[in-house]
Amino acid sequence: MATKKSGTRKAAAAKKPIAKKKAAAKKPAAKKKAATRKTAKAPARKTAAKKAAKKAPARKAAKKATRKTAAKKTGRKTAAKKSAKKATKKTAKKATRKPAKKAPARKAAKKSAKKTAKKATKKSAKKATRKTAKKATKKKATKKKAAKKATKKSAKKATKKKATKKKAAKKAKGKSTRKPNAAFMKALQPDAQLAAVVGNKPLPRTEVTKKVWDYVKKNNLQDAKNRRMINADDKLKPVFGGRSQVSMFEMTALVNKHLG
């Protein structure tokens, strides 16, 4: 095994100088190739330089144009900004002017509102005073009416009392001066038919009519519809001459016929 390894090492050492020689031989060839490449590229570079030189003014012009367009754009932007600022300033001024203009209108509105409020208060005060005045006048009127009524009543009462006193005095005088009629005060004998109602004893005409009326009221013989008419019962029918109903004026005449 050791012999084999040593053999391989020797072979590798022998090969190294050969590889170096080959590499050295290759280097000039590579240099030549690079030189040929450079020489080949030189005219191309010149043409490229010429083309670049030709293109340079175009590029400059393009750059200028771009700068101009950029400047125009910036100018437009600045102009737009300026116009926007001016517009905002104008609107601000208008806004400040409007409230200044509105201020007198508001003052006028406030004044009108105050005037209307004053008028309303005055009207309400007037109405209240009128109502109170009306109430006071009504109370006074009612008091006056009550006083008038009281005075009238008292006057009526006084007049009634005077009238009753006068009537009483007249009656007293009449009684004292007048004498009853002898014919009315004469006692008369009722017949058998009238005696059934009045009694058998002799009585004056006034007493007879009084007793007949007492009998009518006691037995409820007055007509319910017409109070002037008197309905005859079994006892009064012969006194009334067989009639079932007689007026109060006829009754006295019919009763007097039965007195002897």
In a domain, 69, yes or no: no
**What is the radius of gyration, based on Cα positions, of the chain?**
79
In a domain, 228, yes or no: yes
Q: Rounded mean pLDDT of the chain?
A: 75
Domain end: 90, 117, 144, which one? Answer: 117
In a domain, 53, yes or no: no
Residues in the chain: 260
Question: Which pLDDT value is given to residue 6?
Answer: 58
Question: Which pLDDT value is given to residue 18?
Answer: 63
Residue 230's DSSP bridge partners are 222, 246
How many percent of the chain have pLDDT more than 90?
Answer: 16
In a domain, 163, yes or no: no
Q: Is pLDDT at 250 greater than 60 in this prediction?
A: yes
Per the structure block, which two tokens stand in for 62? 């393009």
Confidence band (pLDDT; 50, 70, 90) for 174? low
CA separation, residue 176 to residues 161, 163, 168, 171 (Å): 22, 19, 12, 8
In a domain, 78, yes or no: yes
Q: Is pLDDT at 39 greater than 70 in this prediction?
A: no
In a domain, 200, yes or no: yes
Secondary structure in 3-state letters for 36-68: HHHHHHHHHHHHHHHHHHHHHHHHHHHHHHHHH
Confidence band (pLDDT; 50, 70, 90) for 56? low
In a domain, 234, yes or no: yes
Confidence band (pLDDT; 50, 70, 90) for 82? confident
Residue 224's DSSP bridge partners are none
Residue 90 sits in which domain range? Answer: 74-117
Instruction: State the Cα–Cα distance between residues 235 and 193, nearest whole angstrom.
Output: 7
Q: How much is the pTM? A: 0.33
Q: Which of 56-60, 106-110, 113-117 bottoms out in mean pLDDT, i.e. has the lowest?
A: 56-60
The DSSP output letter for 229 is E
Q: Are the beta carbons of 202 and 211 closer than 8 angstroms?
A: no
What digits encode the pLDDT tens for the residues 210-226?
999 999 999 999 999 99
Question: Which pLDDT value is given to residue 33?
Answer: 65
Instruction: State the Cα–Cα distance between residues 105 and 109, nearest whole angstrom.
Output: 6
Question: Which pLDDT value is given to residue 210?
Answer: 92
Q: Are the beta carbons of 231 and 216 closer than 8 angstroms?
A: no
In a domain, 33, yes or no: no
Q: How many domains does the chain have?
A: 2
CATH number at residue 223: 1.10.245.10
Buried b (16+ CB within 10 A) or exposed e, 52-67: eeeeeeeeeeeeeeee
Instruction: State the Cα–Cα distance between residues 188 and 73, nearest whole angstrom.
Output: 157
Instruction: State the Cα–Cα distance between residues 235 and 197, nearest whole angstrom.
Output: 7
Per the structure block, which two tokens stand in for 18? 């050969």
